[in-house]
Amino acid sequence: MVEPGATEPPQIEVPSADPAPLGGDDAHAPILVAGAGAAGLACALAAARGGVPVLLCERGPAVGGTVANVLIHTIGGLFDEAGEPVQEGPEGALLAELVARLTAADPRAAPRRIGRTRVLGVDPAVYRAVVTAWLAEDPRIRCLTQTEVVAPEHADGRILGATINVGGRPQRVRVRALVDATGEAAVVRRLDPDLVEPGEALAGLVAVLRGVAPGTLAFPNGVALIRRLRDAVAAGELPPACATLWPDSGPGADEVYLKFNLPATDFDPARMDAVLACLLDWLRPLPGFGAARLGARGALGVRDGGRIRGVYRLTEADLTAGRRFPDAVCRGCWPIEHWHPGTGVQLQYLPPGTRYDIPLRALQVRGVAGLYAAGKCLSAEPRAQASARVVGTCWGMGAGLGRQLAERAGDARETTPDHQTRLPPTSPHGV
């Protein structure tokens, strides 16, 4: 069992980095996955299961992505409103294994209801440990942390390779396919900024309080606290950042997760320190908060850091109609949870029982065969992304894409269909 609440995430063993240089053998070229968050992890695991080598590059010091870094303690999108798994087939099996691994590692990991939705409550540190260990089990996956995909290379409308920066040392790799699972389309943006639609949702910032009396936020006490918070902001007792704050019980009985919702730009960590100090002083006289203290704080969680311009753009109408696609990679059913910069969160449930498909074409970058995005940066309308970006759906997207890429591995290299405008090729000498 993994020790919950560990402050230092376990480090994955980094193999010596000597990927094959460009010009190597296509048949042995890996699928290059950029970003080891939900979509990237799932894509790597699924593709490796399909028998193809995977090079998984994570910019940060550890894998786990938004859940581990931003401190997400409820994983949505794994279950529908009835508590049934959302994904089916091989994707369903992979996600069932994720749930089994998380619940085996931590007895506190359990499904819970939030409104009509069902989520899996997790400790973000346990999640990180579980996925780190899982990746290390598959010898087909080579995972490099502190490694960034800096320069994708393509010619004749298809991806050929990329330059990756391994701990600051650039190396060129030939790839079979390139999957941008960075959450912000960082790799696609480097190829051509016009291939990415700008993001527009508020970002989330989580701070954990410990030492709170158990049951303090039992439903609907959290709403009463939100009411007090807003009154206090209006009265000038608390800074404006507290006006959109949502508190929630954490995985530990004495934990409260405070989620702030802020503009993704103009974020100042020092100013946030002052906000948290002020908030703690204000909370302490309230029942249950007398012994509260600040615990871990997450990185800024960017809900929409930009979406690729794909071969297909998933629409809100597709979601509400439960549209099916012949090239589906996974399914989604999470409500449209749109954190509008002007008006705050708007939650719209899909009609009861609705599940929609996410087509492969919404993960294919327009004009460049072999270049994909999975997770938050899929090709979608903002309100469609506001449902599809949930962690469980990102796992589904990665899993379905990884499987389909592995199934295509025996086929000839993909080329861009003639009706699509091909990007001009990158310099033959790299970037």
Partner 1 sequence: MTPAMTPAVTPDVTEALRTRLRAWILANLYEGAAPPGFDDATDLIAAGVMDSLAIMRTLTQLELAHGVRIEPNDIVPEHFVSVAALAAFVAAKG
Distance CA 157, CA 371 (A): 10
In the numeric block, the tokens 């992979």 are attached to 94
Return the residue of 96, 104, 224, 277 that touches partner 1, per CB under 8 A: 224
Q: Pick the closer one to partner 1 by CB: 244 or 393.
A: 244
The helix (run of H) or strand (run of E) holding residue 23 is none
The amino acid sitting at 227 is: R
DSSP 369: B
Q: Which of residues 234-253 bind partner 1 (CB under 8 A)?
A: 246
Q: Pick the closer one to partner 1 by CB: 181 or 256.
A: 256
Q: Does 345 bind partner 1 (CB under 8 A)?
A: yes
Q: Pick the closer one to partner 1 by CB: 112 or 324.
A: 112
Q: Does 228 bind partner 1 (CB under 8 A)?
A: yes
For residue 114, the minimal CB distance to partner 1 (Å) is: 6
Q: Pick the closer one to partner 1 by CB: 146 or 354.
A: 354
Closest by CA to 41, choosing from 1, 101, 108, 107, is 101
For residue 322, the minimal CB distance to partner 1 (Å) is: 14
Q: Does 222 bind partner 1 (CB under 8 A)?
A: yes
Q: Does 82 bind partner 1 (CB under 8 A)?
A: no
Distance CA 69, CA 206 (A): 10
Please list the residues that pair with 359 across neighbouring strands: 328
Return the residue of 110, 223, 234, 317 that touches partner 1, per CB under 8 A: 223
Residues constituting the chain: 431
For residue 212, the minimal CB distance to partner 1 (Å) is: 17
For residue 79, the minimal CB distance to partner 1 (Å) is: 13
Distance CA 144, CA 410 (A): 26
CB-facing half-sphere around the CA of 348: CA atoms within 13 A: 16
Residues 6+ apart with CB under 8 A from 61: 11, 145, 146
Question: What are the angstrom distances between the C-alpha of 137 and each of 132, 143, 281, 316, 403?
Answer: 9, 11, 46, 38, 18
Q: Pick the closer one to partner 1 by CB: 92 or 222.
A: 222
Return the residue of 347, 407, 424, 425 that touches partner 1, per CB under 8 A: 347
Return the residue of 226, 243, 278, 409 that touches partner 1, per CB under 8 A: 226
Distance CA 64, CA 124 (A): 9
Q: Pick the closer one to partner 1 by CB: 113 or 271.
A: 113
For residue 229, the minimal CB distance to partner 1 (Å) is: 10
Sign of CA dihedral 285, 289, 290, 295: negative
Q: Which of residues 25-44 bind partner 1 (CB under 8 A)?
A: none
For residue 170, the minimal CB distance to partner 1 (Å) is: 47
Sign of CA dihedral 406, 407, 408, 410: positive
Return the residue of 28, 112, 116, 324 that touches partner 1, per CB under 8 A: 116
Q: Does 285 bind partner 1 (CB under 8 A)?
A: no
Closest by CA to 213, choosing from 275, 293, 114, is 293
Q: Does 227 bind partner 1 (CB under 8 A)?
A: yes
Return the residue of 113, 284, 293, 324 that touches partner 1, per CB under 8 A: 113
For residue 223, the minimal CB distance to partner 1 (Å) is: 5
For residue 234, the minimal CB distance to partner 1 (Å) is: 13
Q: Does 293 bind partner 1 (CB under 8 A)?
A: no
The strand order across the sheet containing 110-114 reads 74-75, 117-121, 110-114
Q: Does 353 bind partner 1 (CB under 8 A)?
A: no
Secondary structure percentages of the chain, helix, strand, coil, to 5: 30, 25, 45
Q: Does 287 bind partner 1 (CB under 8 A)?
A: no
Stretch of 87-95, 186-194, 347-355, 371-379 lying at the interface with partner 1 (CB under 8 A): 347-355
For residue 221, the minimal CB distance to partner 1 (Å) is: 8
Return the residue of 96, 100, 110, 114 that touches partner 1, per CB under 8 A: 114
For residue 228, the minimal CB distance to partner 1 (Å) is: 5
Question: Which two tokens mark 159?
Answer: 């991806």
Sign of CA dihedral 21, 24, 28, 29: positive
Three-class HEC string of 114-126: ECCEEEEECCHHH
Closest by CA to 34, choosing from 197, 237, 177, is 177
Residues that bind partner 1 (CB under 8 A): 81, 113-117, 219-228, 231, 246, 345, 347-349, 351-352
